[in-house]
Chain A
């Protein structure tokens, strides 16, 4: 079963998403360039929880008016398991943001909205070797916040004590089937660009695009995941369960993680609608495991409102 959108065949299937915990960090710096460098470094090796420990990406850039300290900033979302969040944030902020010139980090999920908290500044402060200083905000107003000033060679690193986290949605996706690499990649790029306008989501893969989707398991016992053979165009005539239609020469997957299900659905819809505008896109489908693994089944038809 399928339906058509802008003349492109869209499979009537679903993306299978799962629950991960999400934390939001607001990174600021002297200018937008350094805020971006800190954020990109921190989220560099964070494409898939399978091997990276977390999935992370830049949610959006923030103008000085939108940040706590009035400097340019970047909002970063980090997705991982509840128990792993502190470790992941500690490693990534400690090695990539603390070290980045002029940076400061603030909690992006208000503690009153958070389902749990991570003591990040409270752990990193020990880097100050006893010379760290506490900063309190919100005295008298009931919304108290605590931050730490850690002396560093450049000056001072400022980081919030506690970071909120809550249940998020990971693994939302859609797959673009293109006539060739050029058309499939152009459609992917345009889809990712469109998704950037949706608040509360990230596309954690390089440039937001994954060219090597995986399937669960492999013929090798030591490997948990292997290449998605049914969607490899070069294996179309070789594997019995191929899903590559005739004429398709290249396939890309756009993976979307979001702070909630609605934002993931919105991002998928925006991305698909943009992708089907590109000449050479022959089909859209989505990755799932037959509904066995994920908590959320996001039907393409439903999120597109068709």
Chain B
């Protein structure tokens, strides 16, 4: 069952729409949906004031799909803490999209704002455009970022993406900004473009893996080169990405050879970075 939201003229002030989740929409009539609360700055408004609402919601979150018809870059917290169901945003989406989600799927056909997927623990966030800073990261003061689920970005990502990542999967088909996977404890990050400086800074525990295919701008000096080989597990990951997550690009790297580095030696050295052989070589190792 699908509920469609067509944006009216949105205010310039950011809108906080915690209510746009399948969990909140499930089992409600269109009238009830129009009366859901959103925040425009400090003012409380109704969802129906900002969106034309039509369609029908499912009995439960799992059976509910929400389609946002158009750009909503100033609407924040869409899919916040969602547990099931599906949201499709046919344009750009605002900050905190899918933050703390634990299940279901969000598809954003344009770009997403900062903190999207922050601290998510399950489900899939698929972004066809670019993602701004702190994608999948930990909120300030919080020890862990993503603890599960998958984020797939077809464009590029900003700085401090997946900071404090503890588990889960991030796939970036474009480039990654500074400090990708900083403070990462575990989980897997795969970048098909290039990575900037600060890559994997303070990676501590064993189990944290970053795989970069387009070279790295500058490697932290606390990572050391180990070997060049073609790991079976990367082959497996690439096949999984292609077959299960629909990432076509991955099938090109089935037989690829990688340089393995481990670090961050300042934090125990349990993390790993794999750079596609032929990518930019490091100058400080």
Contact = CB atoms under 8 A, between A and B. Distances in A.
B231 A69 contact: no
Name, among A102, A104, A134, A139, the residue most crowded by chain B CB atoms within 10 Å (CB to CB).
Answer: A139
Interface string A165-203: 000000000000000000000000000000000000000
B236 A133 contact: no
B188 interface: yes
Contacts of B272: 133
A293 interface: no
Given A139-B148, A140-B150, A70 B235 contact: yes
A147 B233 contact: yes
A137 interface: yes
B280 to A, nearest CB: 24
A235 B45 CA distance: 97
Contact of A71 (B233, B235, B237): B235
A158 interface: yes
Contact of B149 (A28, A70, A71, A140): A140
Interface residues of A, dominant DSSP: strand
B199 to A, nearest CB: 19
Contact of B233 (A28, A140, A158): A158
A206 to B, nearest CB: 31
Classify chain A: how many residues form its interface, as a range: 20 to 34
B240 A137 contact: yes
A136 B233 CA distance: 10
Given A69-B239, A70-B239, A70-B254, A140 B124 contact: yes
B12 to A, nearest CB: 34
Contacts, number: 68
B168 A139 contact: yes
B207 interface: yes
A239 interface: no
A147 B235 CA distance: 13
B225 interface: no
A92 interface: no
Contact of B231 (A28, A70, A139, A149): A149
B150 A155 contact: no
B269 to A, nearest CB: 11
Contacts of B254: 70
A147 B234 CA distance: 12
B244 interface: yes
B167 A104 contact: no
A133 B272 CA distance: 10
B150 A104 contact: no
Interface string A141-164: 100000101000001101000000
A68 B241 CA distance: 12
B123 interface: yes
A229 B188 CA distance: 62
Name, among B122, B206, B229, B233, the residue most crowded by chain A CB atoms within 10 Å (CB to CB).
Answer: B233
B236 A137 contact: yes
Nearest to A156: B231
A69 B167 contact: no
Given A69-B235, A149-B233, 15 more contacts: A28-B232, A69-B232, A70-B239, A70-B254, A71-B235, A133-B272, A134-B186, A135-B236, A137-B237, A139-B168, A139-B188, A140-B150, A147-B233, A147-B236, A155-B231
Interface of A: 28, 68-71, 102, 104, 133-141, 147, 149, 155-156, 158
7 contacts: A69-B235, A133-B206, A135-B209, A140-B122, A141-B244, A155-B229, A156-B231
